[in-house]
Amino acid sequence: MKDKVVGKVKEETGKLTGNEELEIKGKIQQGVGKAREVVEDVKDNVLDKANDIVDDMTDKE
């Protein structure tokens, strides 16, 4: 979340000041933040599924 917020601030600051490099860096940082969120969501889903499988296997014993 932090990367997305900081990236947005950089992007808007770049737009307001005419600093194209800062604007682009902000957009990139927002993308990194979004990618991290997606990876975290996938990781959580995989762990949940793995735990479900383990629970199912231990319930059968």
Structure tokens, 36: 């991290």
Widest distance between CA atoms in the chain: 66
**Domain that includes residue 28, residue range:** 2-60
Cα→Cα distances 48→1, 6, 13, 58, 61, Å: 22, 30, 40, 15, 20
Task: Give tens-digit pLDDT for 24-57.
Answer: 999 999 999 999 999 999 999 999 999 999 999 9
Q: How many domains does the chain have?
A: 1
With a cut of 90, say whether residue 59 has pLDDT above it: no
pTM for the whole structure: 0.75
